Amino acid sequence: MTEIVIEAHRRKIPIDHPDGSITKEKIASESIDISKFVNTLGINWVSAVDILNVPTIAISSEGLCIKADDVTATEPAITCVTPTNVGVDVHIRSLVLPNDRGGLVLRVQGQLGDVNCYLGAYLSPPSSTEDHMVYRRYNGSWTKIASESVDLSRAWHDCVFSISGSTLKSSRTGGDTFQITVTDTYISEDGRAGLRHSGSPDHPRFIPKSIGLPYTELPKARIIIECEIEGSGKSTEDGIRPKMATELRFSKELGKNIDFNTITWGAFDYRNENTMFMCVYRDNAYKEGAIERQIEYAKSKGLKVLKPPKDIQDAKQVLLELKRHKEEIIAGVHNLAYQCLGYSDLEPLAVADFYDGYYQGIYNIKSLEKSEQFVKNLCPKCFSITDKETHCGEKTLPNAIIQYWLIKLDKSRVSSIEKEKHAKKLKRLIRC
C-alpha cells in the first residue's frame, strides 16, 4: 500500500533529482501555512525569504520552525514578521524552543528578511553562562546591551519581550518576572514584531501567543558598573559588548564552558562610546561574589562604580554623575529611576521623559524655542512639535499610545506636580 501511495505521489509531482526525491522548491509553498497563527495572535504574519525568494519557515507539529536546508548563512535572519507595524510601545510573547540561538524582535525597520534595524531578546543555549540576552541591531552592527547569568536547557521557554519608551524588558518565564532590563534610546520608531532564528543548521521553534500592550514591573539594580567595550559588531558572536572579567570552566554535564564571573546586567543608554554603564541585577548562577569580582575588575581599569539611586531625588544626582562621563545620554531622571528601582508607577514618567528628550534631540527644541525656525516646526493645527514633512509619518507617535500613557500617568501613585509636568510632555506630542 505504501509503495502505491509513493508511486502516485511521484506521478503527480515531476521529479528532477537522480535519486527520485523532490526538490525543496516544489514542496516549499505546500509546507508553509502562516495563516495557522492568525487566530493565535489575531494578526497576520509574513514569512522571510532567502535570496531565491523561497520562504525560510515551515509549520511542524511543534509550531513555527525554520527549514534547515533553506538557510546556509552564518548570520542571523528574521524568520517572520507582522506585515504592518504593531506599535512603538508593545510586547510580543511566544514559546521558544532554542536549538541554537533564537528569540523575539520588536521595532523592526526596513524590508523583510535579515533587516538591519531592530531590537531583540534571544535565547542562546550554546553560550557560556549567558544564554539570555538582548541585542540592538543598527545599520548592520550588533550590540549586546543586556545579558542574564544563566545556562538554559533546550526546552520550551515562555518568552516575553516588552518595550515602553526607552525601556526594554525580557523574560523567559512568561512575564511574571523580567530577568533583564535595558534603557536604550537608539531605535524609537514604530515597527513590526517578529521571530528570529540563528541561521545555523539547528533552528529554534516558536508558538506565538500574543502581541499587545507592554508589561510593567522590573527587578531592582544592585550596582552600576562602567565597562570598557570590545567586539567588532559584525556578528552576534563578536558583537559590541562590555569587556568583563571571565573565569571559564568546562562542564561535562552541560558539554560546554561555564563562566563563574558572568552577572545579570542591562546597559543604561549606551550610545557607541568607548565605555558602557550597566545596571547589575543578579550575581553569578554558580558562584556567588561575581558582582564584587566585576567591581574590582572595573576599578583596576580606573572605571566608575556607582550605587544605584534609592529614590527620584537620588536618581538626579546619579544621572548628573553619569552625564559627566557620557555627554550623549538623552535618557532622563525617570528613565534611570525606572530601570534601577523597577516601580510600575515610574513607567509613564520614564516614557514621557524619553519621548520628550528624543524629540528635543530631533528638533533641538531648547535652541529653537524662541526662533523663527521653531515656529515653522509647529503644526499649524495642533501646535505639536513636529517636522511637517513627517508629521503623520514615522517621526510622530500615534495618538492612541499617547492617550494610553496619559491614562497610566493619571492612575500612577506620584505627586500631582509630577503628573502635570509629564502630562504636558506627552500632550505636546499629540498630532492633529
List, for residues 37-88, the tens digit of each pLDDT value. Answer: 666 666 667 666 655 555 566 555 556 665 544 444 445 566 678 878 888 8
| Rounded Cα gap, residues 57 and 70, in angstroms | 8
Which grid coordinates are listed for 199? 541561521
pLDDT band with cut points at 50, 70 and 90 for residue 190? confident
What's the Cα-to-Cα distance from 44 to each of 89, 104, 192, rounded to whole Å? 19, 16, 11
69 Cβ partners below 8 Å, 6+ apart?
24
SS3 126: coil
The 10s digit of each residue's pLDDT in 16-31 is 433 333 333 433 334 4
Give the other-Cβ count within 10 Å of 379's Cβ. 17
Gap between the Cα atoms of 348 and 214, Å rounded:
11
**Cα Dmax for the chain:** 85
Report how far residue 158's alpha carbon sits from residue 190's, in angstroms, rounded to the nearest whole number: 24
Q: Is the pLDDT reported for residue 176 higher than 70?
A: yes
| Least trusted range by pLDDT, from 65-74, 193-202, 286-295, 316-325 | 65-74
CB 144 within 8 A of CB 240: yes
**Mean pLDDT value across residues 169-177:** 92
User: What does DSSP assign to residue 61?
Assistant: T
The mean pLDDT of 234-262, rounded to a whole number, is 91
- Alpha-helical (H) ranges within 176-263 are none
CB 244 within 8 A of CB 264: no
The structure's pTM equals 0.82
| Cα–Cα dist 367/293, whole Å | 45
Give mean pLDDT, residues 367-389: 46
- Strands in 46-98 per DSSP E: 46-47, 57-60, 63-66, 77-81, 90-97
Residue 43 sits at φ, ψ, to 5 deg, of -150, 145
Report residue 64: phi and psi, to 5°: -80, 125
Q: How much is the pLDDT for 237? A: 81
What Cα–Cα distance (Å) separates residue 328 from each residue in 61, 269, 272, 307, 339? 48, 9, 9, 21, 18
Q: Which amino acid is residue 313, in one-letter code?
A: Q
